[in-house]
Structure formats: C-alpha cells, structure tokens
Structure 1
Amino acid sequence: MKIYISNYLSHSISIVDYETLETEREIVLNNNIYPHHFCVDEQDGKIFIPSLINGTLYAVDIISGKILDSVSVGGSLSQIFMHEDELFVSNEDTNSIYIINKYTLEPVTMISVDDMPHGLGYDQKNKKLYVPCINSIVCIDIENKIIYKKIDTDFKAWHLEIDQKKKEIYVSTLDGKVVILKEDNLEIINTFYELLLPVQIRFNYKDERVYISDLGYNQIKILDYKLGKYIGKIKVNGIPQGLEISKDYSRLFVSDTENDEVKVYDTKTNQLMKVIHVGKEPTTIVCL
C-alpha cells in the first residue's frame, strides 16, 4: 500500500510506504507544474495531474516519473476524478467540467456548471458526480454526461464529501461552515458552525467519527457520526489542509502546508504517530 502526496510549491509528488511510513521517493516535475490535486491509476501506472497555474493536464509515469503526455485545457484547473476510461477535471476559470479520455488525453465533452467549481464528490453506486460551486451544488450524471439536478445555495461551497452510508453530502464552505444535505433532493438537514476555513472531510465508519480539516483554526474538528455533534478536536502545530484516512480507519493523514509535513494520527487515541517530511506545501493525500 502506498501514500501519494502532492507538493504544490516543490512541483513534486511524494510516495510513502504505508507500513513503514517512510518516504520511498519523490517524483520531481517540471517547474511549471503546480500539483494541487491529482488522481492515481495504479493499474496503468500513471498519475494524472491538473496544473492549477498553466491549465494543462499531465499524465506522469509512476515508476520513471517522466511526463508521458499532456493536453492544454486552459484556465485554472482545480480537481480531477477518474471513472473507468475517463477523467473529469474542474475548471474554475471557465466554470465547467472537462471530460477527457484517460488513454489519449483527447477531449470527450465539456459540461458547463456555475461559478468557480472546485472540489468533486462521487457517489459510486448511483454514478453521480457532485460539484460545489460558489452559490450552488451541481449533480452530474457521468454516464449520460448531463446535469442531473442542482440546487442554488446561500453559502459558498468549496469542497464536499459523499456519505455513502447515509446518502448525505457534507459540504465545507468558504464562509466557515459545514453543511449537510440529503443526497436525493439536496435538502439541507444540518449546519455546523464554529469553523473558520474548513477544507476536506473524511468519514471513519468503524469508530463513527467525521473529521474536518480547518486551516483557519489550525485543527481537525471531530464530529460524532451518529449524533451529529462536535465531540473533540486535534490541534495541529501547523496549517492542516488535505485529509485522508486508511482503509481500515486506523490512521488519519493530514497535510501540513506550513511545515511541509504529513502528520499521521492514531484514530483510536487522536495521538500523533509519525511526522513525514515531504516537499513544499503538501496539499492532496491519496492512500491506495
């Protein structure tokens, strides 16, 4: 099992061994590639990286670290999602989702959404992709490549995570809230305050916990999954941004963009297990 980390200002991807929590190697990219987000295709041995600055999507070989192919999309590319043989890329400048063939990097189609689409959340069972925009949430049917439904909001949606068990959507907002909606009709059912700038959200179904990284307050907020209320926090000596949880829910990985580290916490005790030094300004973490 490997852990992949994008280092935005180092123009690199760190690869960490899950068992030892030691860095195996670092893929150093070109200086014009700013990896904010990425996805990994382990079967084909590729990492797909949308560069936030130059509007180009890159396919990078995992083993050699070489760029295999690239395509200029234009605009500010934010997040990427892979489904079967297609890549879905959010573009904040053109207010759209680009769909690209992952083998050829040729464009398939483009779906216009609302202002500044950023994070992406996928419901695997229903094959729906949810896109948070500044004043709306858009649901895309990825098989038919159409907008299935959407809701206008009075909050500034930024990132979101799908609760696959309860069929709910947790949305972090730029105005300091986490909003929970029913997936079927996008009705708001709860709102959490006491946050400053929440970013990513992860579910621990084993221990019935929800983790929210708050880079404004430099901490990880913890919710009781069943009761829907705050039960604790993890103080981070730095600026937490990216979150990932291991498949067995025993470890929580947090990217610290201030200290250029990934911090690993034991989910039973919330105690710091390990500090992994990576590149400059680590953002996204992927555990496979």
Structure 2
Amino acid sequence: MKLYISNYLSNSISILDYKDFKTEEILLDDGTYPHHFCINKKQKLMYLPSSINGIMYILDLELKKIIDSMSIGGNLSQIGISKGELYISNEDSNSIYIINEHTLEPVGIISVGETPHGFDFNEKENKLYVPCKNSIYCIDTLSKCIDREIKIDFKAWHIKVDTKKNEVYVSTLDGSVIVLDGFNMKIKHTINQFLIPVEICFNYSKSEVYIADLGHKKVVILDYNNLEIKGEIKINGNPQGLAISRNEELLFVSDTQNNSIKVYNAINHMFINEIKTGKEPTTIICL
C-alpha cells in the first residue's frame, strides 16, 4: 500500500503509505533529477533515468541509497521493465535502449521517430507502444522489431495502454487525446477538449478514465464506455502524474505547483487529503 513519487527539483524520492498518509523521503545525489522511474517490486529496486546527464541510477529501496549506475548518454526520458529487460527512451537519439536488468549489458537499440518522450507496454500481446512527434510506433518486445508505424497530425508525448480493450490512449501537445486500436493502430477516437493533457489512468470498477490536464489545472473524467466527458476535478495547482490505488477507491494526483500529492475519493471524486513532497513531484507509481 505504498505510493512512490519522483521529486525532480529536490533530487529525491518520496514514499507515501496511503493507509495513514505518512511519508518518508530518500535524498539522492545532486544532479540526479529524477523525472520518471520504474520498480522491480520483488528485488526492491528502483531504476531512475536522468535527463540531465544521461545516467541510469539504481536505487535500493531497502538500503535507501543508490547502489549502481550506468552511463547511457542523451536525454533519457522514460523507463520500464518487461521480462527481465529495461527499456529506456532517449529523446536526443530518437531511440529506445534495451538493457538486461540483471547484468546491465546492452540488448539492443531500436530507432524510432522524433522525440520519443514516453511509452507503455501491453504485456499480454508482447507489444511496446512509443509516441513520437507526428508518429506512433508499435514494437514487438520478443523480436525487438518495429511491428507497425502510423503517421499522425499530432505531437504525441504521453501514452497509456488499456489491456482490456487493447486500445492505446495518447495525450498530445496539441490539446487532444487520441485513442487507437492496439491491433491495427488506426485512430478510433479523438477527444479535443483539453489544453495540455498529460497522464492517463483507468478506473475499471467505475468505468472511468482520468486524464490530467496541466493547462486547465484539472483532471478530466471520461466515461470508459463511450469516452464522453462526465465530470472534472479541479486541482488548484498543476496536475501532472496520476495513479489509482489497487482497490480503485483512491485517486492520486501529483501537483507540481504546490509540491504535493492530492488524494481524492475515486467513488465520488471528493478531496480527501494533500501530502507535501519534495520539489516538483512528477511521476507517481502505486504498489
């Protein structure tokens, strides 16, 4: 029942126990600047790519310190784990780096389109979806080859895979969220009522989709079945990261303006609590 938060400007990781809302902060080395991360829950390791110096850091969550690092180079943006391999997007080289998680040896590099900021896996289908400027890629994680590429008229950046419907939600810098069919990569829906949409998460028990709109300072609530807007949560700050508790009863929003995590009841969307973090909390992961 823990929430992990990367604090970009304070070079730290906050850990929130959302049973009692108590927090602890792990201070990292100066210059780390954690923006995104992923966690091996079994090994209790956190992998943190730095966009500043091109280094991936390994944080031991039990020892609460960096135990190893690897120089990759470039503007490292996002990281994820799939079947014992680390995938890291590099915005400078327009590529996805693949590294063996256990040996830290390189597995391969996949060239994609311009500025691959984020990505997401569909583990059931062995696919990796990568949004780029004016294009989206589907990569087979077994063969390490590009399975499909589509050109779009949007500057895609954040992405979330819905494994239930095998659909891919992509937020764009153009103020739209597009939804693609995960099999043929064709656009099924385009939703335009945003300013700067960022993170996306699903509440399957309530049949809702949450989208953080940084520009309008709110979280937009979509009906999962028809994608119509059914409500909103005003944040009074800058919402960026989103996560939902495992029982889908709590919604967590990182507020980079107020340096806090805001907690909402996912049943009635009412505000519950605000917990202070380090400076500029970005990514949040709920375990």
Q: Distance in 2 between the 1:89 and 1:149 partners? A: 19
Q: Distance in 1 between the 2:231 and 2:32 partners? A: 37
Q: Secondary structure at the match of 1:134?
A: strand
Q: Secondary structure at the match of 1:156?
A: strand
Q: What pairs with 1:151-162 in structure 2 (closer than 5 Å)?
A: 151-162=150-161
Counterpart for residue 163 of structure 2:
164
Q: Distance in 1 between the 2:116 and 2:225 partners? A: 30
Residue identity opposite 1:77 in structure 2: L
Show CA shifts across 1:108-140 (max 9, x none): 111111100011111111010000001110111
Counterpart for residue 20 of structure 2:
20
User: How far is 1:103 from its partner?
Assistant: 1.9
User: How far is 1:77 from its partner?
Assistant: 0.4
Counterpart for residue 5 of structure 1:
5
- Range with bigger deviation, 156-165 or 257-266: 156-165
Q: Distance in 2 between the 1:67 and 1:231 partners? A: 43
Q: Distance in 2 between the 1:210 and 1:44 partners? A: 31
Q: Does structure 2 retain, via aligned residues, the 8 Å contact 1:70–1:105?
A: no
Q: Does structure 2 retain, via aligned residues, the 8 Å contact 1:29–1:65?
A: no
User: How far is 1:194 from its partner?
Assistant: 1.4
RMSD, aligned CA: 0.8
Q: Does structure 1 retain, via aligned residues, the 8 Å contact 2:82–2:123?
A: no
Counterpart for residue 240 of structure 1:
239
Q: Does structure 2 retain, via aligned residues, the 8 Å contact 1:244–1:287?
A: yes
Counterpart for residue 187 of structure 1:
186
With structure 1 as the length reference, what TM-score do the two structures score? 0.98
User: How far is 1:227 from its partner?
Assistant: 2.0
Q: Secondary structure at the match of 1:155?
A: strand
User: How far is 1:20 from its partner?
Assistant: 1.1
User: How far is 1:18 from its partner?
Assistant: 2.4
Q: Distance in 1 between the 2:223 and 2:127 partners? A: 26
Matched, 1:219 2:218: yes
Structure 1 residues not aligned, in runs of 5+: none
Q: Distance in 2 between the 1:84 and 1:170 partners? A: 23
Q: Does structure 2 retain, via aligned residues, the 8 Å contact 1:158–1:171?
A: yes
Q: Distance in 2 between the 1:128 and 1:4 partners? A: 25
Q: Distance in 2 between the 1:182 and 1:108 partners? A: 29
Structure 2 residues not aligned, in runs of 5+: none
Q: 4+ residue runs of structure 1 moved beyond 6 angstroms?
A: none
Counterpart for residue 98 of structure 1:
97
- Range with bigger deviation, 85-94 or 57-66: 57-66
Counterpart for residue 266 of structure 1:
265
Q: What pairs with 1:1-288 in structure 2 (closer than 5 Å)?
A: 1-23=1-23, 25-288=24-287
Q: Does structure 2 retain, via aligned residues, the 8 Å contact 1:173–1:197?
A: yes
Q: Distance in 2 between the 1:16 and 1:275 partners? A: 11
Q: Distance in 1 between the 2:160 and 2:84 partners? A: 23
Q: Distance in 2 between the 1:282 and 1:222 partners? A: 22
Residue identity opposite 2:177 in structure 1: V
Aligned length: 287
Q: Does structure 1 retain, via aligned residues, the 8 Å contact 2:244–2:286?
A: yes
Show CA shifts across 1:56-98 (max 9, x none): 0011111222211111111100000101221000000000000
Q: Distance in 1 between the 2:159 and 2:65 partners? A: 32
Show CA shifts across 1:217-266 (max 9, x none): 00000101112201110000100000001111101100000000000100
Percent identity between matched residues is 53
Q: Distance in 1 between the 2:184 and 2:251 partners? A: 31
